Amino acid sequence: MSTFIENVHIKDGEYTKIIYVMIREQRYTECIKVLLNLLDSYPNSRPCLSLLAHCYFYTQDFMAAAQCYEKLIQLCPQENLYKLYYAQSLHQACMYPEAWTICSSIINQSNLEFKVKKLQAAIKYGQEDMIAAKNLVDQCPADDVDTEINLGCLLYKEEKYEQALKKFSNALQIAGFKPHLSYNVALCYFKLKEYAASLKHIATIIEHGIREHPELSVGMATEGIEVRSVGNTLTLHETALTEAFNLKAAIEYQLQNYDAAKEALTDMPPRSEEELDAVTLHNQALINMDTKPSEGFEKLQFLLQQNPFPPETFANLLLLYCKYQYYDLAADILAENVHLTYKYLTPYLYDFLDALITQQTSPEEAYRKFDDLANKHTEALRKATKQVQEARLNHDDNAVKKAVNDYEEALDRYVPVLMAQAKIYWDLENYTQVEKIFKKSVEFCNDNDVWKLNVAHTLFMQENKFKDSTRFYEPIVKKKYDSILDVSAIVLANLCVSYIMTSQNAEAEELMKKIEKEEEAVSFEDQDKKLFHLCIVNLVIGTLYCSKGNFEFGISRVMKSLEPYNKKLGTDTWFYAKRCFLSLLEQLAKQLVVLKDSTLQECIQFLEHCEVYGKDIMTVIDQPFDVQDMLNISPQGKRTVVYEARYLKALFLKLQMS
Ligand SMILES: *[C@@H]1O[C@H](CO)[C@@H](O)[C@H](O)[C@H]1NC(C)=O
Ligand SMILES: *[C@@H]1O[C@H](CO)[C@@H](O)[C@H](O)[C@H]1NC(C)=O
């Protein structure tokens, strides 16, 4: 929560007109230069020092502001107001004990009493001493709207979101629209999983920001317009736009609208990277992980060194290391940060990570650990189910809502454990055992998308259950039929193969036509966009024929699917294509198949095309930095399509000559 309130005021002074204008226009950086110049000649000028402090404060350089106030206090030890501002600056710089000491030295100032109290409460809140903070807030005037807001913040911290929401909504009614207050309301709705209500308040903040401050360039970067940083100005802070867009990104991410999440981040008023706040940095890392993993890992590692960092950073970094299979790095981070585990990881999450890491050395022990965890979760799920039923019987809507939320949270904890458990057998290619594990969980997971998808894959891989895999893939595709390119290519490909294997060729063809039409529509709008869906479907079907020994048909289909090369050749598509060529070469070398001369010639020609278009295409995805040394990956030049295509061509030529 960003706005525990501790009033900030501008110190009046005798500024000259020019400085006055600069400050009014919030040209703080310029103003700081002028003031530093003046201070060279008049090092003890109180007006200059206090204005400088003010400018530093509003550029959020709180340490520099604190130093100015410290000097001012030396110059006039009686001035309590300076002490208050000094303490406020220290508080903003998260130097809580120091700020507290200064507060304690402010005495006998009845006019400042409540301001000091508010600040003291904010300090205790920052130190997460909620009891002391509550005690201090209770001593503030009850008719002050800030008191209401602060009580809301305290309730929020205690995870009493309904009650916090009441306080904030009440304050909103009294005080009228205030961006940060609306943001707090939106945040409570977010926590209560009422996303529509949350988005409504976010929209109000954004509309207000755009209307009042067109100079903040909202949405321009998304439109592709080159924009300059708007800087960390007071205006930006007061609009709560950064917070609102971050929350919007979080909601879209939760709803699995990943493009919308990315867009929310680029819509935000632009700042340069070193100006970004911790939350924005964290969200950028997370949301762009699929395209820029090394940058993402760098940002999260950087954040972990900051104090404070967004509380989710620690768990997310660990989970992402595991997701990208850098288990050693995850283990290191855990070992180096024992002090963080208690605070930032739930016992469940800790056990889960522990089992994931264990899996690398001992799959059996890991399986047992996952099993223990899964049992705990299923117990919780049974209990939650019972609570939902009871609440329904009693017609208690609020209790139903809460029980359903509890159930969903328990399910969110359970599914990853189940998947990790299943993956142990998946990696052993023991798909019947994977299916058994999924069958055991059907009572809870029936409606879960991740579960359904993985059941479909498992049935597919068994190669004799294509009817069943069709039954699971179909609803996934149907659900997004109108935006079919949002379905992952591999799901579409597997469904097509399932159709073909069960003699439903007409269905397969219809699906492929649909994909083709959608891709045409997209490339009509954006000619240069690389589109891989239909290509991958064709590749998978080609692979299928190759695997059945019909290379003549299979490899032709593979080659054709990559045309035109400038649009279709990519890291993933090359991966599928080269597998077919390798298997073909193996069969040819063993003289298990023969190929028409003309087909052989086509293969060589195809590889030559790949050499031309594959110069800048990597064959492995971007690795996070500092992992490269550990993994002994081949040097950069060899990891390109051009290198591999040449290599394959050489093998074909060798075969032709022999
Ligand atoms: C502060 O006020 C109290 C009573 O209100 C008085 O006894 C005390 O001397 C005052 N202290 C100072 C430093 O003025
Ligand atoms: C799969 O795993 C189960 C349980 O460990 C085992 O009994 C079975 O033999 C395995 N099947 C294969 C094909 O390895």
Contacts of residue 597, defined as CB under 8 A and 6 or more positions apart, other chains included, come to: none
Ramachandran category for residue 309: left, alpha or beta (phi over 0 → left; psi -120 to 50 → alpha): beta
The conformation of residue 463, written as its DSSP 8-state character, comes to S
Q: SS3 for 530?
A: coil
Report yes or no: 590 and 546 within 8 Å, Cβ to Cβ: no
Per-residue pLDDT tens digits for 255-306:
888 889 999 999 999 999 888 989 999 999 999 988 888 899 999 999 998 8
Going by CA atoms, what residue is nearest to atom 7 of ligand 1? 108
Rounded CA-CA distance 88/101 in Å is: 12
Cα 432 to Cα 426: distance, rounded to the nearest angstrom: 9
Ligand 2: residue whose CA is nearest its atom 11: 430
Domain borders along the chain are: 559-658
Q: Quick one: pLDDT at residue 108?
A: 67
CA of 80 to the centre of ligand 1 (A): 14
3-class SS letters over 1-18: CCCCCCCCCCCCCCCCHH
Q: Given a cut of 50, is residue 625 above it in pLDDT?
A: no
pLDDT band at 647 (very low <50, low <70, confident <90, very high): very high
Question: What is the residue with the minimal CA distance to atom 9 of ligand 1?
Answer: 108
What percent of the chain has a predicted confidence (pLDDT) above 70? 94
Best residue among 105, 108, 111 to mutate for probing ligand 1, ranked by most atoms within 8 Å of CB = 108
Most confident option among 8-22, 35-49, 149-163, 611-625? 149-163
Residues with beta carbon inside 6 Å of ligand 2? 430, 433
Give the residue whose CA is nearest to atom 7 of ligand 2.
433
Q: Which ligand is nearest to the CA of 80?
A: 1
Over range 376-380, report the average pLDDT: 93
622 pLDDT band, cuts 50/70/90, is low
Neighbour count for residue 493 (Cβ, 10 Å): 26
Residue 621, classed as helix, strand or coil, is coil
Each residue's pLDDT tens digit, 388-438: 999 999 988 888 988 898 899 899 999 999 999 999 999 899 999 999 999
Specify the residue for token string 């929020």.
Answer: 156
Which of the listed ranges 21-35, 100-114, 323-337 does the model predict with the highest average pLDDT?
323-337
Amino acid of residue 164: A
Which residues form ligand 1's pocket by a CB distance below 6 Å?
A: 107-108
Residue nearest to atom 6 of ligand 2 (CA): 433
The model's pLDDT over 327-342, given as tens digits with 9 standing for 90+, comes to 999 999 999 999 899 8
**Cross-strand pairs, 618:** 640
Q: Residue 301 in contact with residue 314, Cβ under 8 Å? A: no
- pLDDT band with cut points at 50, 70 and 90 for residue 477: very high
Distance, in Å, from the CA atom of 234 to the CA atom of 243, rounded to the nearest integer, reads 14
What integer pLDDT is reported at residue 624 of this predicted model? 43
Q: Say how many CA atoms lie within 13 Å of 593 toward its Cβ.
A: 20
Whether this prediction's pTM lies above 0.85 is answered by no
Q: Say what the pLDDT of residue 14 is.
A: 46
